[in-house]
């Protein structure tokens, strides 16, 4: 599964100009896969989980429903986090000149593909394999 997730991270990086890297983490902050350079992936996965927890509470408290995504803009770029099913998140790092609309479009699609990869790994492909 990690190979497929890494391929997806590299594919979204190829589709979004000015994307610096990304990772897939569990909602508990465990690193699942990463394609990051210059950022410590395990620490970033843990911080993503902490940020996710706050974002989920904020969305719930304000009546906005289930968490879907968050975007942090810093002086030197963006950190964007997207729900990838109920158990994982996709976090992408982007340079300041990224097209944010394109980032959202491709990241949302990528998050859905990640959900599919996770489901394919967790669920048997053939019902006869469940035995």
Do 38 and 49 meet the contact criterion of CB atoms below 8 Å apart? no
Between 9 and 39, name the one with better pLDDT.
Answer: 9
Do 71 and 51 meet the contact criterion of CB atoms below 8 Å apart? no
pLDDT of residue 2: 80
Q: Rounded to whole angstroms, how far apart are CA atoms 91 and 116?
A: 17
Average pLDDT of 34-50? 92
pLDDT of residue 129: 47
Tens of pLDDT along 78-122? 999 999 999 999 999 999 999 999 999 999 999 999 999 988 775
What 104-110 contacts at long range (C-beta under 8 Å, 24+ apart), as own/partner pairs, is: 104/69, 104/80, 106/12, 106/15, 106/16, 107/12, 107/16, 107/69, 107/80, 107/82, 108/69, 108/82, 110/8, 110/9, 110/11, 110/12, 110/82
Kindly report the pTM of this predicted structure: 0.89
pLDDT of residue 39: 81
Helices 2-15 and 100-122 pack at an angle, to 10 degrees, of 160
């Amino acid at each position: 599964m990690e190979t497929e997730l890494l391929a997806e991270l590299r594919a979204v990086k190829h589709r979004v100009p000015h994307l610096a890297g990304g990772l897939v983490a569990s909602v508990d902050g465990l690193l699942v896969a990463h394609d990051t350079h210059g950022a410590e992936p395990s620490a970033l996965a843990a911080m993503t989980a902490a940020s996710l927890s706050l974002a989920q509470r904020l969305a719930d408290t304000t009546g906005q429903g289930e968490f879907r995504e968050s975007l942090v803009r810093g002086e030197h770029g963006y950190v964007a986090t997207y729900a990838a099913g109920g158990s994982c998140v996709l976090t992408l790092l982007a340079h300041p000149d990224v097209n944010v609309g394109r980032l959202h479009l491709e990241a949302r699609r990528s998050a859905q593909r990640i959900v599919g990869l996770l489901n394919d790994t967790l669920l048997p492909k053939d019902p006869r394999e469940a035995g």
